[in-house]
Amino acid sequence: MTKGLGGIAIVGAADTAVGKITDLDCQALCAIAAERALADAGLTFADVDGLVTCNAMSQPFLYPAEALAEYLQIFPSYCVGLGAGGAAAVSVIQHAALAIEAGLCETVLITMADRLRSGLTREQARQMQSAAGHPEFETPYGPTAPALYALLARAHMHAYGTSREALAAVAVTMREHAGLHPGAQKRDPISIDDVLSSRPVATPLNVLDCSLVSDGGAAIVLTSAQRARHLRQKPVLLLGSGEGHSHEHLSAAHDLTRSAAVESGRQAYARSGIAPKDIDVAGLYDCFTPVVLFLLEDLGLCPRGESGAFVLEGGIRLGGAMPVNPHGGLLSHCHPGNPGSMFHVTEMVTQLRGQAGERQVPNAEVALVHAQGGTLSSHSTLILGTEATR
């Protein structure tokens, strides 16, 4: 693939409730999100001939896509369960789009859900947080996922003089945005002082620097742009995409101040013909506050080393130079694990349709979505646009 995917469109998008959901399992949440996304598009399960999902930590299956197809009682010709950690939800969109272009299927349903808040025991959650490290060079020394991201935060602070307040400002902005989203898990406002005085987790990160733990799911529907014009919603076009993979374990990373988002972004910009200055709104993976600083720089959305000042000056707020995560992101809207970035995708679709209400970015025509998995390990960038961008 050397050019964009402008012949493919997102025609349906929907979320489930998020937070603590004790009466539904992951497959039921996937089904609810799927049914809503199909209804949004004016389609039914009978129209689906492609299905993509990821495995759920709280309800694992050996073959998650096939198990979900069985649950939904659909019989797709294209059926994929993809694992790329937090990057999976964005990475699968590129794969599904290529399947449509290749004629393997016509309408792909991508639906994902997990229940990290109510579906795991405390011990299971502890084991999950401790599983990110290299079994020989990291895990024996006890770092959890927050500790590994704290190391990255320290590296950025050392290299660029990034302040602790800049990290906190990311969390404050995400909470401000979530306050405008009626379905967000956390909507009460917080201040920089609140973040700095919240419970320490791994220096310099406190609990409000860390993403939420949530139950929930989201889904989108893909089809050809030609077919999309005859469906219910204004189509959101896939303009370009890219992936970057630099390491699996942080101890093997060559640089602690930049990530393979540089490469995934380069590919997505080249394939779409879009430049960073053309982006109207961005959905950036925000599992921990420093990640937003890394991605702003690596994706060219602000100059290298200046993301801290950019955030403190309001650059990522609604009305700022580069609005980020108008729904509140993983820090304040929800984070149910691998499906977390699906909510970034559905928010960008909502923005490009002009349906976001109080949190709408005016005249949004081009959106960037970026997700990452592991510890800044696997990266996937997607650029979306409206018909006006063709």
281 forms beta bridges with: 367
Look-up: residue for tokens 């800049």? 166
Q: Which two tokens stand for residue 95?
A: 């794969």
pLDDT at 2: 36
- Tens of pLDDT, residue by residue over 314-347, are 999 999 999 999 999 999 999 999 899 999 999 9
Task: Look at residue 160 and tell me if it is in a domain.
Answer: no
Q: Which two tokens stand for residue 356?
A: 């976001």
Distance of CA 339 to the CA centre of its chain: 8
CA-to-CA dists, residue 63 to 59, 60, 69, 196, 336, angstroms: 12, 9, 10, 43, 20
Q: Which two tokens stand for residue 158?
A: 């050392």
At position 194, the amino acid (one-letter code) is D
- Which residues of the chain, if any, have pLDDT below 50? 1-3
Task: Look at residue 271 and tell me if it is in a domain.
Answer: yes
pLDDT at 175: 98
Task: Look at residue 362 and tell me if it is in a domain.
Answer: yes
Task: Look at residue 380 and tell me if it is in a domain.
Answer: yes
C-alpha triplet 297, 302, 308: angle, nearest 5°: 75
Task: Look at residue 138 and tell me if it is in a domain.
Answer: no
Task: Look at residue 365 and tell me if it is in a domain.
Answer: yes
Omega before residue 135 within 30° of 0, cis: no
Task: Look at residue 197 and tell me if it is in a domain.
Answer: no
pLDDT at 213: 94
Beta strands 50-53 and 78-81, pairing class:
parallel
Q: What is the 3-state secondary structure (H, E, C) of 106-162?
A: CCEEEEEEEECCCCCCHHHHHHHHHCCCCCCCCHHHCCCHHHHHHHHHHHHHHHHCC
Q: Which two tokens stand for residue 8?
A: 């493919």
pLDDT at 56: 85
Number of domains comprising the chain = 1
Residue 361 structural domain: 8-119+212-389
What CATH number is given to the structural domain containing 70? 3.40.47.10
pLDDT at 172: 98
**Burial environment of residue 158 by CB neighbours within 10 A (0 to 12, 13 to 18, 19 or more):** exposed
Task: Look at residue 183 and tell me if it is in a domain.
Answer: no
pLDDT at 232: 87
CA gap 358, 295 in Å, rounded = 26
pLDDT at 1: 33
Q: Which two tokens stand for residue 189?
A: 């406002």
Name the phi and psi angles at 39, rounded to 5. Answer: -65, -40
CA gap 272, 301 in Å, rounded = 16
pTM of the predicted model, to two decimals? 0.95
Look-up: residue for tokens 């902005």? 173
At position 290, the amino acid (one-letter code) is P
Name the phi and psi angles at 103, rounded to 5. Answer: 80, 15
Look-up: residue for tokens 């979306």? 384
pLDDT at 330: 98
**Burial environment of residue 173 by CB neighbours within 10 A (0 to 12, 13 to 18, 19 or more):** buried
At position 148, the amino acid (one-letter code) is L
CA-to-CA dists, residue 253 to 41, 86, 381, angstroms: 42, 18, 20
CA gap 17, 113 in Å, rounded = 11
